[in-house]
Structure 1
Amino acid sequence: MSTATPVADLALRVRERLAVRHPGVPVGELVTLPGGHSGLTYSVTAGEAAYVVKAVPPGQRPVGRNDVLRQARVLRALAGSAVPVPGVAVVDEAQPAWFAMEFAAGEAIEPILDEPEMAAATARARMLDSARVLRTLHDTDVSGPALEAPEPLDAAGELERWSRTMHAVPDELRPGGDELLTSLADDVPDGLPPVLLHGDFRLGNILYAGERATAVVDWEIWSVGDPRIDLGWFLLFADHHNFPQLGRAVPGLPTEAELLDTYRAGGPALPAMNWFRALGRMKMAAIMGHNLRRHREGKHHDPDQERLPPTIAAMIRTARDLLG
C-alpha cells in the first residue's frame, strides 16, 4: 500500500499516465488552480503541452459535483462537435478517480459582475455569441451511447429540487420566498423535448479569446431536460439590476429579448419563458441564501456574503413580478 500523501499519490499517477502520452519529455508538478467549487483542480505541463486535472477529493465519494468521470463523459461526447470544449486526454477510473483535459486558452468573465471590467463592445459580442453557443449545445444529439444520458429533468423536477434548497434557507433571509414557490408550483408549464443542459451556462463558464469562444467549462451539474431551464438561468446575467450592490451597468449589453431572439434564430417560439425566468431567479436566491446562511452560522467565513441580502430580495421580488 502506498504511504504517499493523497496529493503526492495523485501526482504520481498523473505523471505516469502523461509520461506514456508524452514519452521522453518532462512532466511538471501539479499546481492548484484557484476558483474551483467542486473536486480538486490542478494544472500540469508535459513538455510544451498543458493540461487541467480534475480529481475526486480524498475520502469523498465520487458523486454529484465530485463525479469527475461524469464530467469527462460529457466532454468526450461533445468532442468534435460544434460546441467548443476541452479535449479529454487521460481518464483514470481507479479511485480516487481523475481525468486530464487539454488546457484551453481564454478568459471567462461575467461582464456585470466580474473583474476586470470588459470593454462594452466585447461584452455585447460575447453575450450574443454565447446565446448561439447555447443553441448549438441544445441541438446536440443526446441519444448516443457515449453520453449515457440520465433521465430527463422536467420543469416540475427542477422546481422540486431547488425548492428544497430554498426551504433550507431561514425565512428572514428570503422574504417572499414561500409565496414565490407557491406561485411557481401553481403554474408549471408543459415541457419541451429534452436537450443536453449545461446547468450553469453563462459567460463566467465560457472561455473567450477576444470575441471567439474557445471552451465551455465547468460541467459539474450537466443534465438532460427542458432547454428553457438553461435559458432562464443564462438570461439572469444580462441585466445588472438583477444584482443590487453587486452588479454594474455595461452599456450596450444585449437585453434578455435580444438574447432570446439570437438563441431562437427565427425558430419556434419558446412558450412560458417568464416562468423559467422566474425559476432562474428563485434558484439564484436559494443559492445566495444558502451561502449567506453558512457564513452566518460560521460554517464558511466570508464577510462578502453580507452584500447578498438586497440581491436575494430583488431576485424573489422580480420573479414574483414575472409571474404576474
Structure 2
Amino acid sequence: MAVTPASPGPESITLAEGVGEVLRAATGRTIGEVSLRRFTGGASKQVYAVDARDDAGAAVRAVLRRDPPGHGDAARMGAEAACLRAAAVAGVPVPAVLAAANTAPGIDAPYLLMEMVEGESIPRKLHRDPEFAPVRDRLAADLGRVLGLIHRTPLDTLDSLDDEDPLDTIEQIYRGLDEPRPAVEMGLRWLREHRPPPRRKTLVHGDFRLGNFLIASDGVRAVLDWELAHRGDPIEDLGWLCVRAWRFGAPAPVGGLGTREQLLDGYAQTTGIRPAPEELHWWETFGTLKWLVLSRFQAERHLGGQERSVELAAIGRRVCESEYDLLSVLGMLDESVVVPAASEPAATVHDRPHLTEMLDLVADTLTEEIAPTLTAEQQRQRFLLRICVNLLGTATRELHAGPAATTEVAELLGELDCDSEAELAAGLRSGALSYSDNEVRRVVSLAVLSRLEVANPRHLH
C-alpha cells in the first residue's frame, strides 16, 4: 500500500528557511532563497550574515543574532532589542531592528534580526589600513561623543535592565571560581578604598570597545553587541574603552586609537560632563580587573570539564596578561624583579630531537606550510590554527623555563609565612597583609611576570 509522504512540519524547517520567513514578515517583501554565513568569534551568541534577494532582484542583507538552541535567554535578548530601539531614537548609530522574538520555526532560540551595516570592526585594520587614515586621529573623540549619546538615552523603556553594583557582581563571580589570586585581591581592596562618588545612573553599553563598533572612512557607523547593557555609572563605559586589552597591541590608550584627553573632549561635547582623570582611572582599573575575572570565568568552561575547547584553554593561559595590566595600572608592579633565566635541558634517555625542538618544528610547519593553504572561507580553521600555534609556543617556553621561577616564588612566599599564592591572597583579603608592602608586591610581581614570560612575552613590550 502506497503512503503519501506527510508535509514537512515546523521541525523540518532549516535555519535559512526560518530566517527567510522572518524576513518576509518583517519587510513585507517576497524573499527568495536565503544564504547564511556564520561569523567567527562570539562567546555567547551565534551571529550570521544573511544574504537574499527579493522578487525584483534587489539584495536583502541582514544580521542574525541568536542564542545557541537549548541555551536561550529570552529576557536578555529582548532587553538587547529594547536597547537598540531606544538608542536609535536617541541618535546613537545602531543597526535598525527588523525583528526580535523568543523563537521562530527554524531559528529555534531567542533571536534578533537587524539590518546589515557596512563598516570595519577588526582592530588591526582600524589601526593600520590607509583607508582609515583620514578619520583615525579623531576616532577617540568621536567615540566619546557616541558614548555621550548612549548615556543620554531615556531609560523609560528599559526597566528590564539590571542595575546591580558592578564591583559587587565581579567580586561574586571571582569568589565563585574558588581560585584566590593575590593580584585580584590587591585590586579589589584598592577599588573599595578609592571609589569615586557615584553618578546618576544611565544606560551603560557594558562592552564598548574595538570589535563592537563598525567604522568607515567617514567615522562611526554602528555600535554593536548590546547583550551586556545595563543601568549604571556612565563612566564605566569610558574606563572599559581604555583597558589595555582593547588596544590590541597599539600604544594609544583609548583602543589604540587616541588619548584619554581626546575621549573626554568628545564626551564633554555631547554631555557637558568631563570626568576627572582620577575618576576615569578608577573605572579603567575596574575594567582591567573585570576582564581578568571574566577571562578566568570563560576558561573555567574548559578547565571545569563542561566544554573541551582549545580556545578556552588558551584563554586560561592568558589570564596573566590581565594580572600584569592590573598591577601596572595600579602602579604596584615591582619593575626591579628579574625572572630567573631559562634552564638547560635535563639529560634524558630519549632520542633527539629534544622535546622543545619538536614543538618548535610543529609550530613552524603549521605556520609556514599549512596556514597559507587555508582559504578565506576557512576563517574558523585559520583562527583555531593560530591558537594551536600559540599554545605550542607556550608549552615550549615553559619547558625552557624549568622550575627556577617556581622555586624563587616559593622562597619569597615563605618569607611572608605563606605556603602558596592562595594563602597570600587570603592574607590580603583579610587585611593581615597589605598591598602596599614592598615584599608583597615583589612576590606577586615575580609570579605574574614568570607566568607572562611563558604565556605571552610579547605582552611585556
TM-score scaled to structure 2, two decimals? 0.59
Equivalent in the alignment of 1:70:
79
Give the residue type in structure 2 aligned to 1:24. Answer: T
Residue 317 of structure 1 corresponds to 327
Report if the CA contact (8 A) 1:279-1:319 is conserved: no
Displacement after TM superposition at 1:218 (Å)? 0.6
SS in 1 for 2:174: helix
Alpha-carbon distance between aligned partners in 1 of 2:73 and 2:111, rounded to the nearest angstrom: 10
User: 2:49: which partner in 1?
Assistant: 43
- Tell whether the 8 Å contact from 1:175 to 1:313 is kept in structure 2 after alignment: no
Q: 1:166 aligns with which of 169, 174, 184?
A: 174
Aligned position for 1:53: 64
Aligned to 1:13: 18
Are residues 257 and 321 of structure 1, via their aligned partners in 2, closer, same or farther at CA, if it must alter by over 3 Å?
farther
Q: CA deviation at 1:136?
A: 1.4
Q: CA deviation at 1:194?
A: 1.0
CA shift at 1:63, angstroms? 5.4
Structure 2's unaligned 5+ residue stretches are: 1-7, 54-58, 333-434, 437-461
Q: Structure 2 CA distance, aligned partners of 1:92 and 1:51?
A: 16
Q: Which segment is superposed worse, 92-101 or 274-283? A: 92-101
Q: In structure 1, what residue type is equivalent to 2:166?
A: E
Check conservation: 1:169, 1:290, Cα contact below 8 A: no
Q: Judging changes above 3 Å, is the alpha-carbon distance between structure 1 residues 221 and 28 closer, same or farther for their aligned structure 2 residues?
A: same
Structure 1 residue 190: deviation in Å? 2.0
Give 1:1-324 correspondences, 5 Å limit: 2=9, 4=11, 8-20=13-25, 21-47=27-53, 48-62=59-73, 67-94=76-103, 96-110=109-123, 117-119=128-130, 121=133, 122-143=135-156, 145=157, 147-150=158-161, 152-153=163-164, 157-167=165-175, 168=177, 170-171=179-180, 174-237=181-244, 247-249=249-251, 253-265=257-269, 267-271=272-276, 272-292=279-299, 294=301, 299-302=308-311, 304-305=314-315, 308-321=318-331
More helix, by proportion: 2
Q: What is the aligned length?
A: 306
Let me know the Cα RMSD of the aligned residues: 3.2
Distance 1:232 1:216 in 2: 17
Matches of 2:117 and 2:316, distance apart in 1: 34
Q: Say which SS state the counterpart of residue 43 (structure 1) adopts.
A: strand
Q: Is the 8 A contact 2:31 2:52 kept in 1?
A: yes
Q: Bigger relative contact order, structure 1 or 2, given CA contacts below 8 A and separation 6+?
A: 1
Between the aligned partners of 1:239 and 1:202, the Cα distance in structure 2 is: 6
Cα distance in 2 for partners of 1:309, 1:150 equals 29
Provide the TM-score with structure 1 as the length reference: 0.81
* Letter of the 1:77 counterpart: A
Point out where structure 1 has 5 or more consecutive residues left out of the alignment.
241-245
Where 2:140 maps in the other structure, the secondary structure is helix
Question: Retained in 2: the 8 A contact 1:18–1:27?
Answer: no
1:54 shift after superposition: 1.7
How far off is 1:306 after superposition?
6.6
Return the index of the structure with the highest Cα Rg: 2
Q: Output the CA distance in 1 between the equivalents of 2:203 and 2:314.
A: 34
Q: What fraction of aligned residue pairs are identical, expressed as a percent?
A: 28
> Alpha carbons of 1:314 and 1:33: their partners in 2 closer, same or farther (altered >3 Å)?
same
Q: Is contact 2:50–2:61 with CA below 8 Å preserved after alignment?
A: yes
What amino acid is aligned across from residue 142 of structure 2 in structure 1?
Answer: D
Deviation sequence 1:86-121 (CA, Å, 0-9, x none)? 01112233463323110111011335xx78834584
In the alignment, the residues of structure 2 paired with residue 37 and residue 305 of structure 1 have an alpha-carbon distance, to the nearest angstrom, of 12
Q: Are the equivalent residues in 2 in contact too, given 1:33–1:43 (CA < 8 A)?
A: yes
Cα distance, 1:312–1:78 mapped onto 2, change above 3 Å? closer
